[in-house]
Amino acid sequence: MKQLVYLALVALLQLPALPAQDADDGHMAEGGKELEERTNTTRHSVTIGGQVIDYQATAGTLLLKEEDGTPKAEVFFIAYVKEGVDDSASRPVTFTFNGGPGSSSVWLHLGGVGPKRVRMDEDGFMLPPPGGLADNPYSWLDLSDLVFIDPVSTGFSRAPDDEKAKDFHGLREDISSVGEFIRLYCVRYGRWNSPKFLAGESYGTTRAAGLSSYLQQQFGMYLNGIVLVSSILNFQTVDFNVGNDLPYLLHFPTYTATAWYHRQLAPALQDLSLREVLDRSEEFALGAYASALLRGDRLSGSERDAIAQSVAGLTGLTAEFVLQNDLRLPLGRFTKELLRDQARTVGRLDSRFKGIDRDSGGERYEYDPSYAAIEGPFSAALKHYVRQELGYPSDLPYEILTGRVRPWNFSEFENSYVDVGEDLRRAMTQNPYLRVFVANGYYDFATPYFATEYTFSHLGLDPQLRPNVEMGYYESGHMMYIHQPSLRQLKSDVAGFYAKALP
């Protein structure tokens, strides 16, 4: 379960600037970093769907405080607000974040949701460094004002010192602090009567599900909608562990998709469309394969051989390799084995990507090629953009994806699997207008689409509420928006979702 917690992964107003006196609202914690509120607002425009959107961009920090005024942490955010709106209460606002835990909001921000986008090629592969930025014609800014949040210890967000930072590094601690930021932002900028949305990616979907209930219970803040990008609510679905057969079944269709993409299947399957071959894979995973894993050692030798042949046929591996793994294919071994004869590995965040290892005969890849392809371009773009275009000066290192948050506190789920599905079910039950859109990448091994379908089919929603959940599917990976055809489809799907979720 710990390997999921630290995923390398492996969302986004006319706002007035904060009053001038807030810019120097500094507080020094004894022996620690000075905490301060500081913002800078600039004006820009972007063309989305043929419409010119004039907007203000505010980059800055808000202080989280105890009720007696003692500062606890400064949270960095970047907000985009459409200009020319007479009544901000009629304008939706979307609070957006990524996951990790330990990730800043850079991926959704500069990947698909904000008004600027990192330059990648059409398929989402890296261009020669440094890549650079371009206007994003598929930004969500025409639908909603956007606030990108960096949780404490990510981005420029900081607690006074490392010891106090630990108070924010945990499932409920994180939900509480991000929830407090959202409350404070709505107070400062007059957004309590605005329709409100959350958009989270990866562990950010865990956070969003927890926030849906927390905001209702703690502040009486009811949401209109939540966008979950590459969702993970139930960690049992991805934890390859002795005695837990669920991940082997739920990753299986993504194994098939990956083998199909890299043309490792037999011609009869390779000639099918991706959706057609996935239909066969899903049927096998929920049928003969699930039955075989449940029966365990009660399978006869001939039955094991038959299942191994079927697994091999749908994954591009050999039956011998499948049998050597007791019919169960751990993700790390699959990513290494599929293209071993080419001395290549496949990516975890996006299995379309191929990597090169020094040791082609080893057990696991030495790096995730899909993360390596985005880390540099996104990091350079964000650090340039914040200072040069948004005018926010800071000499702090901007923590793109940090290990400063370890260990992450999951004490509530000690000796069990983390599962925030009940938080979301409870929020949707008490607020029957809350709608959820889930975006899934077919080539995502970090949060496989079939695992997400399993989670939502076991959420326990009343039949009357089930239509409030919609799913979208994309021929890309964890960050499906780096693939431009998927980016266009995602924007279209999200626009339809917002239209249904708004009053």
Per residue in 30-65, pLDDT tens? Answer: 446 789 899 999 999 999 999 999 999 999 999 999
State yes or no: pLDDT of 19 exceeds 70: no
State yes or no: pLDDT of 18 exceeds 80: no
Q: DSSP readout, 53-115?
A: EEEEEEEEEEEEE-TTS-EEEEEEEEEEEESS-S-GGGS-EEEEE--TTTB-SHHHIIIIISS
Among the ranges given (162-166, 181-185, 464-468), the one the predictor scored with the smallest mean pLDDT: 162-166
Cis, peptide link before residue 407, omega less than 30° from 0? yes
Tell me the residue type at 226.
I
State yes or no: pLDDT of 12 exceeds 50: no
Q: State residue 334's pLDDT score.
A: 97
State yes or no: pLDDT of 24 exceeds 60: no
Beta strand spans in 155-240 (E): 196-202, 225-231
Tell me the residue type at 454.
Y
Answer whether 30's CB lies under 8 Å from 422's CB: no
Give per-residue pLDDT as tens, 121-166: 999 999 999 989 999 999 999 999 999 999 999 999 999 999 999 9
State yes or no: pLDDT of 366 exceeds 70: yes
| Dihedral sign (CA 288, 290, 292, 298) | negative
Would you place residue 87 in the very low, low, confident or very high pLDDT band (cuts 50, 70, 90)?
confident
Would you place residue 487 in the very low, low, confident or very high pLDDT band (cuts 50, 70, 90)?
very high
Would you place residue 5 in the very low, low, confident or very high pLDDT band (cuts 50, 70, 90)?
very low
Mean pLDDT over 303-321 rounds to: 98
Residue scoring higher pLDDT (89 or 429):
429
Give the SS3 label for residue 468. helix
Q: State residue 32's pLDDT score.
A: 66
Answer whether 22's CB lies under 8 Å from 39's CB: yes
Using CA atoms, how far residue 388 sits from 46, 159, 381, in Å, is 18, 25, 10
Tell me the residue type at 84.
G
Mean pLDDT over 5-9 rounds to: 37
Q: State residue 363's pLDDT score.
A: 85
Give per-residue pLDDT as tens, 230-288: 999 999 999 999 999 999 999 999 999 999 999 999 999 999 999 999 999 999 999 99
Give per-residue pLDDT as tens, 338-359: 999 999 999 999 999 999 999 8
Q: State residue 148's pLDDT score.
A: 98
Q: State residue 302's pLDDT score.
A: 97
Mean pLDDT over 283-295 rounds to: 98
Q: What is the pTM of this model?
A: 0.93
Computed over every residue of the chain, the mean pLDDT equals 93
Would you place residue 86 in the very low, low, confident or very high pLDDT band (cuts 50, 70, 90)?
confident
Q: State residue 15's pLDDT score.
A: 32
Give per-residue pLDDT as tens, 186-242: 999 999 999 999 999 999 999 999 999 999 999 999 999 999 999 999 999 999 999
The token pair at 433 is 């207008």
pLDDT over 90 percentage in the chain:
88
CB contact set of 152 (below 8 Å; sequence gap of 6+): 73, 75, 158, 159, 165, 168, 169, 174, 177
Distance CA 63, CA 77 (A): 11
